[in-house]
Amino acid sequence: MTRGGPGTREVVVRDLLWQNIVLEPAAARVVDTPAFQRLRYVHQLGHAFLVYPGATHSRFEHVLGAYGLATRALSGLKDRGALQGLGDHDTLFIRLGALLHDIGHYPFSHALVESGFTSHEEIGEQLLADGALAEALRAAGFQDPAREFGALIRGASDHPLAGLISGSIDLDKIDYLKRDATMCGVPYGEVDVDRLLACLTVVDVDGRRRVGIVEKGVAALESLLFAKYQMYRNVYWHHAVRSATAMFKRLVHEAVVDRVLDPATLVEATDDWLMHDLLEHDRTGLAAALRNRRLYKRALEILPSELPVALPDWVRDASRLVKAEDSLARAVGLGPAELLLDFPWKDAMLGLDLPIVRTDGTVDRLTQEGWRGRLDLPPIAGTLAESACRFRVFVRRPAEVSLDALVGVLTA
């Protein structure tokens, strides 16, 4: 539904989670650009739909949800008198930042970033530099959108409200945890959203204003952290989801090596476009296996802490990982691309850096060092993050993969 005439058009979007989301004219112009419309065709959860059939929602839905939450959060902060000194341009900046925070995402979620491709934040800055999207933002009063919004989505902005877009309690997390759990049909993403938004505030910390939370909202913060752990443990890093992700990463690597896929085209690619192209040129059989859900099976799964050696840094290097995979494959009687190694990782998965306004009005800072005498979340968060992660060996055909053989490859 639309309201208003040219240049003043509001668009009302019906959303599964948040009901009516009203896009103001500047947001409506951004949404109408080709770069933004591409997000309709990029799965929010990559290959998770192969495990959870309902997980076919898109980045488009998610960022609209984040925008709606930004509108709610800013309205509440204004009503509580927390936005003193901040004007309409500041709040528009944050609302549009919520809308744009995933603008540079590749097809199939984070898999390509894991493979060493340029981060989606950097791609986002490129898309914000020129074209229809940049024009829409300049029309909204932002003269250098790539610099302004780029810093915001990278988590490098010094804007007082930047924590709503990138931080311990950013609106991105709130939407994706609730939305992903709902679409997957699992009970793991429960976050006390109303309480969390009602407890947001803006405080002075070391001479700088930033987003914080009042002490009575700590329980809601805990719900966010535990929901994130549970979703990583049970959905994002589910063994079959990770098998599909490992297959896709190897498929893309081989396509780039064979020069049938130009990485530069991924900026504009959608999920279906990319899979169609990969199916046409694939020599490994991985594309057809993914299309028909013939996923590789686990031959070995182990907690990193249970390995007798430390994981080498090169497990994050796609090219080095491929060499290790094929070396281990030969050792167990498999061919190239028939054995895949997978180690999911996320820096500071449950990271904390947040001002807490105590009931007496003083401000403490909850960081990875903890909140002495009151809340010991950081050690708990670290333990949860570690327990969610598994090192896995996936194989196309049955094969016996011993721990000794794996260690031999990791230490070669």
Sign, Cα dihedral of 84, 90, 94, 96? positive
At 157, is the pLDDT very low, low, confident or very high (cuts 50, 70, 90)?
very high
Give yes or no for residue 372 having a pLDDT over 80.
no
> Bigger pLDDT: 168 or 93?
93
Task: Write the DSSP assignment of 364-405 as a string of letters.
Answer: EEEETTBBTTTB-HHHHHHHHHHHH--EEEEESS-----HHH
Give yes or no for residue 380 having a pLDDT over 80.
no
CB atoms inside a 10 Å sphere around CB 383: 12
Cα–Cα–Cα angle for 238, 46, 61, rounded to 5 degrees: 120
Q: What CA–CA distances, in Å, run from 165 to 20, 77, 198, 317?
A: 21, 15, 17, 29
pLDDT at 120: 79
At 223, is the pLDDT very low, low, confident or very high (cuts 50, 70, 90)?
confident
pLDDT at 139: 97
At 371, is the pLDDT very low, low, confident or very high (cuts 50, 70, 90)?
low
Mean pLDDT of the chain: 91
> Bigger pLDDT: 374 or 263?
263
pLDDT at 373: 57
Q: Provide mean pLDDT across the span 197-217.
A: 92
Q: Are 311 and 269 in contact (CB under 8 A)?
A: no
Token reading at 263: 């990485």
Phi, psi of 288 (to 5 degrees): -65, -35
Q: What CA–CA distances, in Å, run from 229 to 18, 193, 270, 349, 388?
A: 23, 17, 29, 8, 7
Mean pLDDT lowest among 13-17, 137-141, 182-186, 224-228: 224-228
- Cα(90)–Cα(83) distance, rounded to whole angstroms? 10
pLDDT at 222: 84
CATH 1.10.3210.10 positions along the chain are 2-200
Instruction: Write the pLDDT tens digit of every residue in 284-312.
Output: 999 999 999 999 999 999 998 899 999 89
CB atoms inside a 10 Å sphere around CB 405: 16
Give yes or no for residue 2 having a pLDDT over 70.
no
Question: Taking the CA of residue 341 as centre, how many other CA atoms within 13 Å lie in the half-sphere pointing to its CB?
Answer: 28
pLDDT at 123: 87
Q: Provide mean pLDDT across the span 5-10.
A: 64
pLDDT at 190: 84
Q: Which residues contact residue 244 at a Cβ distance below 8 angstroms, ignoring those fewer than 6 apart?
A: 46, 47, 50, 51, 290, 295
What SS3 state is found at 330?
Answer: helix
Give yes or no for residue 226 having a pLDDT over 90.
no
State the architecture of 2-200 in CATH terms: Orthogonal Bundle (1.10)
Phi, psi of 211 (to 5 degrees): -75, 135
